[in-house]
Amino acid sequence: MPKHYRPAGKKKEGNAARYSTRSQALKLLQVNTKLFRKLCIYKGIFPREPKKKFKGNHHTYYHLKDVAFLRHDPILEELRAKSTYLKKVTKAKAKKNRELADSLLKRQPEIKLDRLVIERYPHFIDAIRDLDDPLTMVHLFAALPATDRMKIEVKRVHNCRKLSHEWQAYIARTHKLRKVFISVKGIYYQAEIEGQKITWLTPHGLQQVLPDDDVVYDVLLTFLEFYETLLAFVNFKLYHSINVKYPPILDPKLEASAAELYALSRYLDANSRNSDQVEVTQLEESELRLSQLQHQLPSNKAGALMQLVKGATDENEEDEDTKECKDFFKNMKFFLSREVPRESLLFVIPAFGGIVSWEGEGAPFNEADQSITHQMVDRPTQGHIYLSREYVQPQWVFDCINARIILPTEAYLLGRVPPPHLSPFIDNEEEGYVPDYAETIKRLKAATKNEILPMPGAGVEDLDDPQNLLAEGYISRTEAIEAAERKQKMMTLEKQYHDELKMELQVTQSSTSNTNKQSSGVDMEAREESLPDIQQIANDTANMSKVLMSRKKRGLYEAMKKGQEKKKAHVDLLKERKKKIDEGKKSKKN
Amino acid sequence: MDDNLASASLKRTRMRAGKTVSVEATSPKKKNNNNDKKKKKQNQTEKKDDQNLLKKTIKSANSVQTENDASHKIQELEQQQNTTQELSATDSDSDSDYQVFSEDEVSEDYESLRQSEDGESESSGDEVHGSYDDLNNDNDAGHEDQSDGSESHQGVEESDSSEDEVAPRNTIGDVPLEWYQDEKHIGYDISGKKITKKERQDKLASFLASVDDSKNWRKIYDEYNDEEVELTKEETKIIRRLLKGKAPHSDFDPYADYVDWFKYEDSLHPLSNAPEPKRRFIPSKWESKKVLRYVRAIRKGLIKFDEPKEEEPRFYLMWGDDSSTAEKANRLSYIPAPKSKLPGHEESYNPSLEYIPTQEELNSYQLMYDEDRPKFIPKRFTSFRSIPSYENAVKESFERCMDLYLCPRVRKKRINIDPETLKPKLPSRKDLKPYPATCYLEYKGHKGAVMSISTEASGQWIASGSTDGTVRIWEVESGRCLRVWEIGEPVHCVAWNPSPELPVLAASAGQDVVLLNTGFGNEERKRVGKLLQVETHTASDDSDNMASIVSWLQDDKLGGIRLRHFKTVTSVDWHRKGDYLSTVMPADILFSVYLIFTVFVYSFLSMDHGRFSYF
Kindly state whether A85 is in contact with chain B, defined as any CB-CB distance less than 8 angstroms: no
Q: Residue range B528-556: average pLDDT?
A: 60
Let me know: does B81 contact B233? Beta carbons within 8 Å.
no
Per-residue pLDDT band at B72 (split at 50, 70, 90): low
What pLDDT does residue A274 have? 54
Q: Residue range B394-416: average pLDDT?
A: 90
Q: B548-551 contacts: CB < 8 A, separation 24 or more?
A: B549/B600, B550/B600, B550/B614
Per-residue pLDDT band at B181 (split at 50, 70, 90): confident
What pLDDT does residue A201 have? 95
User: Rounded to an integer, what distance in angstroms lies between the CA atom of residue A140 and that of residue A161?
Assistant: 9
pLDDT of B294 > 70? The answer is yes
Q: Chain B window 334-363: which residues touch A at a Cβ cutoff of 8 Å? A: 334-337, 339-340, 342-345, 347-355, 358
Contact B402 A40 (CB under 8 A): no
Kindly state whether A188 is in contact with chain B, defined as any CB-CB distance less than 8 angstroms: yes
pLDDT of B29 > 60? The answer is no
Per-residue pLDDT band at B148 (split at 50, 70, 90): very low
Q: Residue range B520-546: average pLDDT?
A: 60
What pLDDT does residue A251 have? 67
**Three-class secondary structure of residue A577 per DSSP:** helix
Bridge-based pairing of strands B512-517 and B504-509 is antiparallel
pLDDT tens column, B198-231 = 777 788 888 888 888 777 788 888 888 778 888 8
What pLDDT does residue B76 have? 52
Q: How far is B455 from chain A (nearest CA, A)?
A: 27
Helix (H) or strand (E) holding A12: none
Helix (H) or strand (E) holding A376: strand A374-376
Alpha helices in A315-435 (DSSP H): 320-326, 342-351, 395-403, 428-431
Indicate the range of A72-86, B70-84, B110-124 predicted with least confidence.
Answer: B110-124
User: Rounded to an integer, what distance in angstroms lies between the CA atom of residue A283 and that of residue A275?
Assistant: 12
User: Rounded to an integer, what distance in angstroms lies between the CA atom of residue B532 and that of residue B526?
Assistant: 10
The single-letter code of the amino acid at B606 is: S
User: Rounded to an integer, what distance in angstroms lies between the CA atom of residue B122 and that of residue B118?
Assistant: 6
**Three-class secondary structure of residue B601 per DSSP:** strand
For B97, list phi and psi in degrees, rounded to 5.
Answer: -70, -30
Helix (H) or strand (E) holding A541: helix A520-547
**Three-class secondary structure of residue B367 per DSSP:** helix
Q: Chain A window 204-233: which residues touch B at a Cβ cutoff of 8 Å? A: 204, 206-211, 214-216, 219-220, 223, 232-233
Contact A511 B389 (CB under 8 A): no
What pLDDT does residue A302 have? 37
Let me know: does B176 contact B150? Beta carbons within 8 Å.
no
Give the whole-number percent of chain B exceeding pLDDT 70. 61
The contacts of residue A213 (CB under 8 Å, 6+ apart) are: none
The contacts of residue B459 (CB under 8 Å, 6+ apart) are: B476
E strand intervals along B510-569: 512-517, 550-555, 560-565
What pLDDT does residue A253 have? 64
pLDDT of B136 > 70? The answer is no
pLDDT of B392 > 60? The answer is yes
> What ipTM score was computed for the predicted complex, to two decimals?
0.80
pLDDT tens column, B418-465 = 888 888 887 777 777 777 778 888 888 888 899 999 998 888 889 999
Task: Select, from the ranges B276-290, B505-519, B562-576, the one with the highest average predicted confidence (pLDDT).
Answer: B276-290
What pLDDT does residue B590 have? 36
Task: Select, from the ranges A439-448, B46-55, B363-372, B400-409, the one with the highest average predicted confidence (pLDDT).
Answer: B400-409
Contact B408 A103 (CB under 8 A): no
DSSP summary character for residue B497? -
What pLDDT does residue B374 have? 87
**Three-class secondary structure of residue A555 per DSSP:** helix
Q: Chain B window 366-385: which residues touch A at a Cβ cutoff of 8 Å? A: 378-379, 381-385
Q: What angle do CA A194, A199, A204 make, to 5 degrees?
A: 140
What pLDDT does residue A298 have? 35
Of B405, B374, B393, the residue nearest A201 (C-alpha): B393
Identify how many contiguous H helices and E strands chain A contains and give both numbers: 23, 9
Task: Give the residue from chain A lying closest to B338, CA to CA.
Answer: A130
User: Rounded to an integer, what distance in angstroms lies between the CA atom of residue A501 and that of residue B178?
Assistant: 133
Of A100, A184, A95, A12, the residue nearest B379 (C-alpha): A184
Q: What is the pTM of this model?
A: 0.57
Ordered mean pLDDT values, 10 residues apiece, chain A (590 residues): 73 88 94 94 93 91 93 93 93 94 88 92 91 95 90 92 91 91 94 93 87 91 95 93 83 63 75 49 39 39 38 53 85 89 88 88 84 90 87 93 90 89 88 88 86 45 45 51 71 76 64 45 50 76 82 90 92 91 87
pLDDT of B614 > 70? The answer is no
Q: How far is A572 from chain B (nearest CA, A)?
A: 11
Q: Across the strands, what pairs with B481?
A: B474
Kindly state whether B448 is in contact with chain A, defined as any CB-CB distance less than 8 angstroms: no
Kindly state whether B98 is in contact with chain A, defined as any CB-CB distance less than 8 angstroms: no
What pLDDT does residue B407 have? 92
Kindly state whether A497 is in contact with chain B, defined as any CB-CB distance less than 8 angstroms: no
Let me know: does A334 contact A375? Beta carbons within 8 Å.
yes
Per-residue pLDDT band at B142 (split at 50, 70, 90): very low
User: Rounded to an integer, what distance in angstroms lies between the CA atom of residue A124 and that of residue B323?
Assistant: 11
User: Rounded to an integer, what distance in angstroms lies between the CA atom of residue B554 and that of residue B531?
Assistant: 11
pLDDT tens column, B316-330 = 888 877 655 555 666
Q: Residue range B356-383: average pLDDT?
A: 89
Of A62, A28, A220, A199, the residue nearest B407 (C-alpha): A62
Of B546, B543, B609, the residue nearest B579 (C-alpha): B609
Task: Select, from the ranges A439-448, B84-93, B289-298, the one with the highest average predicted confidence (pLDDT).
Answer: B289-298
Let me know: does B353 contact A581? Beta carbons within 8 Å.
yes
